[in-house]
Structure 1
């Protein structure tokens, strides 16, 4: 467990610090808005004064109530004005002949005197009324004021002899006040907590004040409770918690335009201890301005005790900063000389680099020009190689066609020669035998058309052997609905034979007509008809045919 406590503290410390920083920032914002709250209070005061100026002098009761309200507005705002309205309130109470109102007015004068640090005057006011003449419901206020007066006298007395006596009197009067207050009231709980704190029962005091915060408190009551909690934590060296509560108390004081306060002063002391001089200076200036405005002598003394220390700290920081700036200037001077030297070296190097870059650029341009020439030569070589490959392919193709068709020619020629030799022998035999009828029969039965058709079929067979995919490749050049279909048993039809001869390099219509046995006009008509069905330009059809049909090598 002992090991866990430091660990837990390290875990929650960032959250505590963040919360404290937020409340300090909120307080600084409220300090900036303080003039707005003061203006609102002055507007209320002016409104009450306006109503008071319109009242009849004979209406003493109403004039008393308005003067009383004006006193309450000034009570923690401005001492002189509060005291003036307190005197008027007392005079009007005496005219009314009301003991309770008179006692209340006298207590108000004593209270403002204590707030202003005029303890002798406060006690003189308290002696005006005998305790037995005070109404029972106001006796707790009487003893409470005496306790407060002697308590502050003990705090500001330099001699232990007197301070101990004042402290005993303060304790006695507060006990009397506590006995006379109604249980459950704010004053009863607050005084009980204060007494516990005075008797060093801090745990009890913290419980009482924390319970009070759970109640619905007005701004003034909340300011007092947070101030007491801050004082207790401050007494126990729990400064972070003390700062939080004192800051909250100061915020409520600003919102109620309370110039008679201690929260801001205590907060400045704690910030000074934390070496947070900026915030300490801000808060002590606000505390000093409030003390001067209200007119509290003892607050001026307290501010005067810490203000020179803060100013001295500020002066020391300025001197340290000035010394640091002096050495920084020397360092910057040396650095500037170094930078100038470095800049000169860099400038020189840059010039050298520019010259080198220029030489490299020129060399690069020359190299690029050479490279472009090489690329052009390579391109020309590639083009020439492509042409050579194309020519070579054409030569290979031509050689293949020559080989096939020379063989085809000799085969067909030999066949025709044998047929004609057999036919000649048969005819000569018939003629030698004077059998003219048989000779005539042989001549008349020789079917040239059939022989021609057989010759064409042999041509088709030889061509398809060279170009096995000719029909499919030829049809790829035609529109989808114009593709040529050969009959069953056929290899090529007449249109295909014409373009087969063109594929073999025979382009003249006369030669094609002689080979196929058609007229020249028929050949021209067939070629035109096919070209119109093509997907390509009619002028490019023959070239596409040559490129698109592949020879079986």
Structure 2
């Protein structure tokens, strides 16, 4: 019994030593991956240059003069795929060209594919109205083979819409399309897969994918999410790092792994790395102009940056205390005084760098706020005037239909004199013209509510215009309202207002003669009305 006890203790010691050694190796592996990621971030431009070389190859092929529409479509398709998650604006440009080509050659499958892909691009940029219009336009005649990407794009659309609108209402619609996708793929509605099964499935898929590819980045990111959800932060950190490295190798600017990694380091109070990776994610998002990613990371990045700055401030305070202590002991310890002097110079450089970084971050935050405000204003105006446009079109269709029915009734009742009198009468045309002018006045004054006051301010005080009671604008004001909208051709103005060309020339000459500003610059100044107030506000 006494002989067995030392043997048992020896085995326990060896087992414990092995576990400690494995843990140390795991930590070394994690540290090595972090250093590799830091190196990749510092040298991102090298991978961007490689991607640009690949893009140049496609562009040179695109400039071949003998290309058929189908060949140009294939090249544009490749270019839009390469540019997506790298330069979103370029991806949209090639995607729009492909949609135009597909419609021109009458290929339904290519039209559906181009529309679905372009809808995803629009969703990423925040053009949710255009994205939804594209998806709805291909819904009726969509081949079954396109249902999977169609449902996936609609799910992504509602993800983006929820981020841009700040509302949780799109979640129900997103669930509807996710259920449709499951039914199409034959996947059960309830996910009964265990944690071990999910892990095994993802690891098996990872083993079949070459490292450094976009699919490798996607799978390692999914593994990181899986381990993060189950509380294994060490493995989550490892796979997020692998995913971020692969994204940089592929010059992928729209990536979530590095932002997830920043949040993980932030939760573990490693604010320096969290700040570094957040900065890299912000640079990539701004470079790709991926509005969806910019809006999503705004809140998290501000928290991480604030925490990093707070840590730096605390570090400064501690260093200042150390400097005071070193100053007290400087009489006895001359060597320590030299060391303290070097530290002060180092701190001064750090302060300058931090000051420049903070100024740049403040500028970026202002730009992000302006972009968000512009997106919100643009979407609101679009919704209002699209609804107004359809309402007017519907109203005019109803009026034309009623007029047709009345003429039909007169023809059926064999009343040619009354029918001829109706056709000869211009009262309906005059009424509709008045209605058109009234709608134009209302819409224009909604866009430029201070137009009359601003226009009168450009005239001599005794020559200012006041519309009649009950009128919003008179003929002179309508002429210059059209000029404010960019319609400067007198022929077009006369056609719109249904008056003679000489009348328009006379009114324009009369207004210039009554101007309180330079006659040559009068109409240019009119075209700036409204923009001044927007800038001031």
TM-score by length of 1: 0.53
- Matches of 1:67 and 1:256, distance apart in 2: 19
**1:474-506 deviation per Cα after TM superposition (whole angstroms, max 9, x unaligned):** xxxxxxxxxxxxxxxxxxxxxxxxxxxxxxxxx
Note if 1:48 corresponds to 2:55: no
Residues 117 and 240 of structure 1: CA distance in aligned 2, closer, same or farther (over 3 Å)? farther
Q: Does 1:168 align with 2:175?
A: yes
CA–CA distance in structure 1, aligned partners of residues 209 and 67 of structure 2: 40
Residue number among 118, 125, 130 corresponding to 1:116 in the alignment: 125
CA gap of 1:154–1:197, structure 2 versus 1, over 3 A, is farther
Distance 1:37 1:19, change over 3 A: same
Corresponding position of 2:318: 324
Q: Greater Rg, structure 1 or structure 2?
A: 1
Correspondence for 1:128 among 123, 137, 141: 137
Match of 1:80 in 2: 89
User: In structure 2, what is the Cα distance between the partners aligned to 1:224 and 1:77?
Assistant: 16
C-alpha displacement of 1:308: 2.3
User: What is the aligned partner in structure 2 of residue 311 from structure 1?
Assistant: 305
Q: Report the counterpart of residue 278 of structure 2 in structure 1.
A: 284
Partner in structure 2 of residue 247 of structure 1? 241
Separation in structure 2 between the aligned mates of residue 66 and residue 34 of structure 1, nearest angstrom:
26
CA displacement 1:29-54 (0-9 Å, x = unmatched)? 111221111111112222222221x3
> What is the CA–CA distance in structure 1 between the aligned matches of 2:197 and 2:174, rounded to whole Å?
21
Once residues 107 and 192 of structure 2 are traced to their aligned partners in structure 1, the CA distance between those partners, rounded to angstroms, is: 38
Q: For the structure 1 residues 159 and 104, does the alpha-carbon distance in structure 2 shift closer, same or farther, using more than 3 Å as the test?
A: closer
Single out whichever of 199-208 and 268-277 deviates more from structure 2.
199-208
Match of 1:100 among 109, 122, 127: 109
Query: What is the distance in 2 between the residues matched to 1:290 and 1:155?
Result: 19
- The alignment's TM-score, normalised by the length of structure 2, stands at 0.55
d(CA) in 1 for partners of 2:54, 2:165: 38
Deviation at 1:150, TM superposition (A): 3.2
CA deviations on 1:330-356 (whole Å, 9 max, x unpaired) are 21122122347xxxxxxxxxxxxxxxx
Aligned pair in 2 of structure 1 residues 38, 325: CA closer, same or farther (>3 Å)? same
Residue 6 of structure 1, CA deviation: 10
- Matched-pair contact (CA < 8 Å) for 2:271–2:311: no
Relative distance call for 1:73 and 1:288 in structure 2 (3 A) is: same
Verify the 8 A CA contact 1:234 1:242 in the aligned structure 2.
yes
* Match runs of 1:35-74 below 5 Å: 35-52=45-62, 54-56=63-65, 59-74=68-83
Structure 1 contact 140–176 (Cα < 8 Å) conserved: no
Does residue 1:230 correspond to 2:237, yes or no? no
The alpha-carbon deviation at position 262 of structure 1 amounts to 0.7
Query: Alpha carbon RMSD of aligned pairs, Å?
Result: 3.0
- Gaps in structure 2 of 5+ consecutive residues: 1-11, 335-537
- 1:27 aligned to 14, 32, 37, which one? 37
Correspondence for 1:214 = 207
Alpha-carbon distance change, 18 to 337 in structure 1, aligned in 2, over 3 angstroms: same
Q: Distance in 2 between matches of 1:243 and 1:156?
A: 29
Residues 301 and 9 of structure 1, relative CA distance in 2, 3 Å threshold? farther
Q: Which moved more, 1:283-292 or 1:297-306?
A: 297-306
Does structure 2 retain, via aligned residues, the 8 Å contact 1:106–1:126? yes
Structure 2 Cα separation of the partners of residues 276 and 292 of structure 1: 25
In the TM superposition, what is the alpha-carbon distance from 1:83 to its structure 2 partner? Answer: 0.4
1:312-391 map, 5 Å: 312-339=306-333
Match of 2:296 among 297, 302, 322: 302
Q: Which residue of 2 aligns with 1:401?
A: none
- Shift, 1:159, TM fit: 4.5
